[in-house]
Structure formats: C-alpha cells, structure tokens
Structure 1
Amino acid sequence: MMFQQLSSKNEQVLNENPLTVEELKNNIAALLGIQYSDIDVVHLEDGIIFENDREIQGLSTPLQIMVGNPERTIPPHMVTTEPDMIMEDDEPRLKMSCGHAITPYNLFGHMKYTLMSKVKPAIYCLTSGCDAQWNMQEIARKADMTEDEIIFYDRKISFNLINQDSNSISECPSCGQFCQRQDDFLRIRCTVCSKKNGSAFDFCWDCKAPWIANHECSNKDLESIQRVLNDAPLKKIDMSKIEDVPSKRMCPECRFLIEHIKACKTMQCTHCNTIFCFVCLEVAVNRRLPCGNYDAKCTVAPVQNVFEPQ
C-alpha cells in the first residue's frame, strides 16, 4: 500500500494492509515514529478529512497523509498577557492582527472548525464586536502549522469559496464525499459509495442514516453515539495529570460529540462555543471553570448517557 505526505513528492510503502483509516494511521505512526493523533488521512482535491471508521477500500492511492504539529509553540516575542478571546486561563497566548489574544491551539481549532464544519471560506475574530478577518498567512504562522496543514487548509479555503453560496451540499456519512441535494428531497445518493459498493447508496439528508423504504428519522443515530461514548478509550489529561478520563464526550449544552486529543482539560465546543471541563463536565461561568484552572485536578465524570434528558 502506498501513501504520500502532502508536503512530499516521494511515495512511501506500507507493508501492512489496514482495513480502516484508524488502522492505517496507527501503522503510519509506527513507521514514521510520530503520534497517531498527529496524522489525518485526507483527500486534498475535495477538502475531506476521512473519519477513523472509514474503510480503506475504494480510496485512491497513494493515500494522502496530513501530518500535524504536536506542540504549537509561541515565540517569546509574540507572547501577550491580554485575556484570551475564548477562555480565561494561564495558557500562553498571542495577539492577532486585530489586537485580540488567543492560544495557538484555540486558533488552530477555530480555523479548522470554520473551514471543515461550517464550510466557510474565511476566518474571523471571535471577540464580541470585532469583525476582523484573519488571512491564512497570519493563522499559519501564529498557530504554528505544519507544511502539510498549510497545503490542506489553503486548498479547503478555495473549495469553500467555490461552494459558499450553496446550501444544497452535504457530506456523505460513509465516505465524507460532498453530495448535491436536488430540490427538497430527503433521499440523497452518494456516487462514490454507490460505485464502490456496486449498488446505490442513499442516505437521509436530515439524520444521515442509510435510506430504507418508508424511512423515518429515529434514534439510531443516538444509539450509534452511545456506542462511541461507551467504547471510547480512557486517557490521561496531560497538564492536570488526571487519569482514566473518557477520550470522547458530548458537549454538556448541545451534545455535540467531541474527542480530546491533547493538552489541558479546558474544552470549547466547536458547535455551540460552550466552554466546559472535559474531566468533570462542569460548564464555565464567566469563561472560568468552577473546578479550577486548566492544570487543576477534579473528579472524573462517568460516561455520559445520550438518552438521559438534558
């Protein structure tokens, strides 16, 4: 199996034959001597980051790999004591061109969410009353992005710009390919999955479940999310040294599914912007966690139950 980093002209050989994106990432991480969490399998031309459970079969080769930065550092001359525009804690932060401050991790996360989830072609300051737009050159430098990341997200901006006026595009829940909606029909066909499977693959526009005769949106998605929460491996939160924390949680406000990759316990939901503690699930008050700063210890909340009322 062949793979290639976005920033490299050289193709590399992987002797193993992984079945899923997750297995592929583990194999490449071992081969390159880097962390699994720093690797994404992508499709540059379509601006797609493939999910871990995506099957490798059907993906074009060489497989495109984006290697991220495990430590987004700030040069000493860029560090500021101005309050972070997202959350109040003691993490090092820097000033953007509009004068407002943000940590490099929050900057990268905000950029990624804007381009991948909102499918927008521009990134703006999150400070209330500030409508400053940041260009990718500034973001890449201050978020300490790798060459792979710069190549991918630059291309994603162009892709989003082309499609910014269309509200009739949705990602296939199976392969991540963007599919076009015709009129107001709920039944959407993914041509990529249909070609790979040798038969039509349709899904529901609203709930993203595979389409069946007399389809009605149900709780199958909730059951799937509960399995993800139940099966999420436990991890250690780096900065607070808290162990046995589920690596996947739902936002306590909007229930958006979030995975903890690295750094501290302070989390901001990319869907509703709620700030909360990934360990105890307490929601921030006036942008401060009730359980203490990013490095303070607190009680690990149990695995969430998606069927419990909010």
Structure 2
Amino acid sequence: KTTKHQAEKCFNPRDSTLRFVNTEDEFDFLCEGFKSRRALMSCGHAVTPTSLTNWCRRLLDQGESRFTCAQRGCVYEWPFSEVRKMALLTPEETEYFEKALAANCPGCRTFVRKETSNLSVRCTVCTAKRGRVYEFCWQCLREWKGPAPRSDRCENDGCCNESLKTLKNCPDITFESVTGVTGCPSIRACPTCGSLVQHSKKHCTNIVCPRCQVPFCFVCLKLTGGCYSAQCSAAPRQTSIPMWKKQ
C-alpha cells in the first residue's frame, strides 16, 4: 500500500506512446484513489503507475516470476519491459524487480535472467566452463532438452506449462444464450495471440480478445469472419498455444 511518505507516480499526460482512457483504475484493489491518469496495458486493462507497481510487487512477493493481468478472464503475461515503462519503476524498484526475476542456474547457481518469450535460458558461466553451450529450462530448472526457442515447455519429463494445464483441465462451459453447444471448454487460447480468455456465457459465441482485439468464435475457434453457423461444432481442447506474430 502507498504511504504518505511515498510520492504517487503519475503518467506524463503528454506521452503520446500511452493510450489514455477515462475509466476506473482496474488495479486499485485497495481503493486508494490514485490521481494519475489511467492508461491501457497491452491486454486492454486500465492502470495507474502506482497500482501496477503494487500488483506486480505482490506477484513477486508471492514467488511469481511472471507478470500476469489480475482481471478475470485475462491471464495475459506482460513482458518486464512493459511493466517497467507503465509502472514508471524507479531505479530502486527496477533493481528489486530484476533480482526477483532472476533464477539460479541449476549448473552453477549463478543468477540468470529469463527471456520473456523463450523458456530456454543460456548460462554464460556454464557455457564457458563446459566448453559447450549450456541452456536450462526456466520452467522446470533442468538442463534444456529438445528444440528451442519454445514458450510452452521443454522435452524433459514432467515439465508442465500452467496455461496448457488450464486448457486441459478446465470444465466445459454452459452458455446462457446459446443452445446446442456441448463439449466446449470454458477457457480458450486466443487463436491469434495465445492469450487465455473466458466467455461471459451470455449473448453469442463470438468474443473479442482483450489482448490483440481480434474477434473469434469461442466454440469453433475460427475468426469471426470465418464462422457462419450459429450451431458450429466445438473445436477440441487446445494442446498448444498460438504464438502472436505481430504485423
């Protein structure tokens, strides 16, 4: 929580790189009423620098190493570069965040930073000592096995991607406004960007991804323009997460 001794951080209203909105601060969970203008994260949710800092620090203090959106139905992972910019991190905060984001290399225990979109992490210390490239998996913290780069898992037994686990184990959805749909999971990975999303159960089956803003059918997973049937068949549970290739 922000104290009187901590100056609230505010966005520069002239920053043309930000998308300002006149909505509530969706991350002010303690109702502190931060005065900064609200700006949209890449997932489409509104924050102030201080509320975003508080949320991300909470994630780190809970042992998390990924910055995920807190809004229901949005489990988009923000890259650290976006958090650093949008939270207006001070040098002290940046140092704290970077230390918390480091992992001990299983080969030499040296702190190593993870690449946001690649679970395969190269340790320069072990690479130099062993005379060969040494990479380990950020997810299971074992020496990397299989092709790289990958954002879901390595090929070590037991290496599990939580998003894929969610897609596999989530219950089926029952729509309130659409009949005849069976076997449709309640959580889907957006076919365009891979962000996990949920349906409100109301209205039609088409939704707009809060991250990439591309509309698609929650049932058949086709883009909205390619789904013409009100009674389309449910696509199977997804076993991989699409990688977003921005144009």
| Normalised TM-score (structure 1) | 0.36
Query: Could you say which structure has the higher helix fraction?
Result: 1
Query: Could you say which structure has the higher strand fraction?
Result: 1
